[in-house]
Structure 1
Amino acid sequence: MLPGRDWDNYLQLAVCEIRDYGRSSVQICRRLRAMLEGLLEALPVHQHPAVRTQLDLLRDSVEREFTDPARRAIAQQADHQGIGGQHPS
């Protein structure tokens, strides 16, 4: 049997470079947050810790990157539509 990756490693592989290279883009941060929050809704509870870790890393990255409080607040909001608008309630 070939060694494989576990869930945590697959998730990290999927989002690490997007977060690192897209950290200066408000919209990339918003879409990544939306994806991760969607995973929390869709995945079994035992997979949530890895997703929460990625959300924490994203939050930390946004806090470091966006020094303007207004832009930081926008970057911290999930954007499910991918067009910069608010998610419909």
Structure 2
Amino acid sequence: MTAAGILSAVLAAATDVELDALADALRGRLEVPTRHPDDVLTTAQAAGYLQVDASRIYELRRRNALVAEQDGRSLRFRRRELDRYLREGPAT
């Protein structure tokens, strides 16, 4: 019997209480954080998202290749702008 067959047999035999307990145990491992295009990221988060150093983010911003909003002394980047940069390259 395959692993899928064994799993099907176990799930068919499980009670609702057992299935609820299993679902609760797996929920945290299966949930994927929701990403929204309007998410606002810090410079460090933007660097992680683009998989570059923070210095590269500052350089791209200085060259107006990335659009960012100033928040006091910090920069904030919208995920949709980072996605646009990945698709199309520097802002024109």
TM-score normalized by structure 1? 0.24
TM-score normalized by structure 2? 0.23
**Bigger radius of gyration, 1 or 2?**
2
